[in-house]
Amino acid sequence: MNSQLQTILNNELNRQLTTLDLIASENFTSKAVREAVSSVAMHKYSEGYPGSRYYEGNEFIDQLENLCIEMSRKIFKLPQNWGVNVQPLAGSNANLIVYNAILNPGDKILSMYLPDGGHLSHGWSYGAKDEQSNFGDAKQKMVYYGGSRKVNIVSKIYNVVQYKTDPSTNLFDYDFIEQLALAEKPRLIITGGTAYPRLINYKRMKEIAHKVDAYYMADIAHEAGLIAGEALESPVGIADVITFTTHKTFRGPKGASIIAKQEIIDLVNKSVIPGMQGGPNNGTIAGITQALFEIDTQEFKSYAAQIVSNAQALAKELLSFDFKLVSGGTDKHLIVIDLRNKEIGGKFAARALNYANIVSNMNTIPYETGSPLNPSGLRIGTPSITTRGMKESEMKQLAQWINDVIAVAKEFASLDFNEFNEKIRNHPAILKIRTEVIEITKKFPLGIK
Ligand SMILES: Cc1ncc(COP(=O)(O)O)c(C=O)c1O
């Protein structure tokens, strides 16, 4: 390998080995997954579907894609009349593929408000019409009609209205979502997001969608591994269509899949090709297949349950340090800390933690009062540290470190960000924690070398 490239990759390997990754959407794959991704499967063009390709020479790639589909069916316990498409190149593409399959341009989508923890690929715009609502005072703030600045392509093509969480609980108010759906009559209702720490009532959302004759799509990008590992309830058989990424709790390569009733999968297949993509990444499909075999073990079920136990243990420890958690805790793998009582913004807190080799991300919180570039929240998650083998007892130590880093960082939180970096980068208390973190990474190695 080129030495300049090799050096970059070695440095990244070393970073991964010596830091604790709390980014809720990341994970570490097995060596077998990485071998599958980088296998000869990546050399092959296979536009089309098994048995019906545009190029010759696909007899083994057909077997690969069929195996991936078969394993997906098994893992998600798909009913006979449901199907799978494993070709989307990423989660955002998978969502766009679904919209293109079942909607017409200009149709209305009802999805979760981005700053509450929704996702850009469910639509996002801002501008003049912010915070308008046709509902009474109590619900005034719980709907978002978007604005003239269409940030995401989904908002450029479709008419996106978003529901927010209840300001007093940070939970979904399903009665309100129903009221909103009845008033707005969307063609598609979406659940799922990046930072909603609680369970979603799939059955209720389906009832709401069907009451207004809308499709219901569950985006389970974050929870796919927890659902596949039977730690969380599955929307299979409830939602009309389900999209997910394969690289988060799922512990596979970066990719995505769509599962749905067969009549929707028939439309999805056309939406993938010729609608939106060329050939799939066959290396990725090989990696997803290997991840599915790993999910199909008792070990993975224990792993999925441990992710949730670790997140709940970490939440409990953080509460004991007077951290405020959005919705008060978590039902799954992620926690959103509302830092306002700690007098430090999310951007500053995440950077200080990074200097202590604890990697997380700044995040908006519901009814955000800070700026998008320095929001009031910090999102943390337990998939990667659970992959390392950490358990509840390590969560106590982790909460202590988070508390200690933030206590130090808070002292410099009113400085300009560059000055803050200078003060905190080599602060003795931060360096001490960094040394301790590196020690624990050796005790819980990744085994990816
Ligand atoms: C809920 C949700 N949907 C879609 C995506 C998009 O996935 P990708 O980054 O693969 O496009 C993400 C990624 O974080 C997500 O959290």
> Mind listing the pLDDT tens digit of every residue in the chain (449 residues)?
999 999 999 999 999 999 999 999 999 999 999 999 999 999 999 999 999 999 999 999 999 999 999 999 999 999 999 999 999 999 999 999 999 999 999 999 999 999 999 999 999 998 855 555 555 555 567 999 998 899 999 999 999 999 999 999 999 999 999 999 999 999 999 999 999 999 999 999 999 999 999 999 999 999 999 999 999 999 999 999 999 999 999 999 999 999 999 999 999 999 999 999 999 999 999 999 999 999 999 999 999 999 999 999 999 999 999 999 999 999 999 999 999 999 999 999 999 999 999 999 999 999 998 888 889 999 999 999 999 999 999 999 999 999 999 999 999 999 999 999 999 999 999 999 999 999 999 999 986 64
Return the pLDDT at 449.
Answer: 42
Centroid of ligand 1 to alpha carbon of 245 (angstroms):
7
Return d(Cα 21, Cα 29) in angstroms, integer: 13
291, 297, 298, 304: CA torsion to nearest 10: 20
Start-end of CATH 3.40.640.10 domains in the chain: 40-295
Centroid of ligand 1 to alpha carbon of 4 (angstroms):
31
Strands (E), 188-263: 188-191, 215-219, 241-245, 256-261
Strands (E), 246-363: 256-261, 324-325, 334-338, 358-359, 361-363
> Which of 2.30.110.10, 3.40.640.10, 3.90.1150.10, 3.60.20.10 would CATH assign to domain 40-295?
3.40.640.10
Return d(Cα 136, Cα 260) in angstroms, integer: 37
Return the pLDDT at 79.
Answer: 96
> Which of 3.90.1150.10, 3.30.750.80, 3.40.50.1820, 3.30.365.10 would CATH assign to domain 306-443?
3.90.1150.10
Measured CA to CA in angstroms, residue 71 lies from 77, 292, 346 at distances of: 10, 6, 40
Nearest to 76, CA basis, from 224, 272, 251, 280: 224
Return d(Cα 3, Cα 313) in angstroms, integer: 43
Return the pLDDT at 129.
Answer: 55
Assess whether the C-beta atom of 121 lies below 6 angstroms from ligand 1: yes
Nearest to 281, CA basis, from 68, 105, 23: 68
Regarding pTM above 0.85, the answer is yes
Centroid of ligand 1 to alpha carbon of 149 (angstroms):
21
Return d(Cα 94, Cα 218) in angstroms, integer: 12
Burial (Cβ within 10 Å: 0-12, 13-18, ≥19) of residue 81: exposed
Measured CA to CA in angstroms, residue 433 lies from 20, 313, 380, 397 at distances of: 12, 21, 18, 11
Measured CA to CA in angstroms, residue 25 lies from 250, 251, 327 at distances of: 10, 10, 19
Q: CA triplet 408, 344, 196: central angle to 5 degrees?
A: 120
Atom 1 of ligand 1: nearest residue by CA position: 193
Dihedral sign for Cα 234, 237, 241, 245, please.
Answer: positive
Q: How far is CA 72 from the centre of its chain?
A: 19
Start-end of CATH 3.90.1150.10 domains in the chain: 306-443
Nearest to 217, CA basis, from 153, 261, 166: 261
Return the pLDDT at 128.
Answer: 56
Centroid of ligand 1 to alpha carbon of 108 (angstroms):
21
Return d(Cα 364, Cα 384) in angstroms, integer: 22
Return the pLDDT at 321.
Answer: 98
Q: Please report where in the chains the tokens 């409830």 appear, as a residue.
A: 238
Return the pLDDT at 133.
Answer: 55
Assess whether the C-beta atom of 119 lies below 6 angstroms from ligand 1: yes
Atom 5 of ligand 1: nearest residue by CA position: 91
Centroid of ligand 1 to alpha carbon of 190 (angstroms):
13
3-state secondary structure of 130: coil
Atom 16 of ligand 1: nearest residue by CA position: 194
Burial (Cβ within 10 Å: 0-12, 13-18, ≥19) of residue 108: middle
Return the pLDDT at 238.
Answer: 97
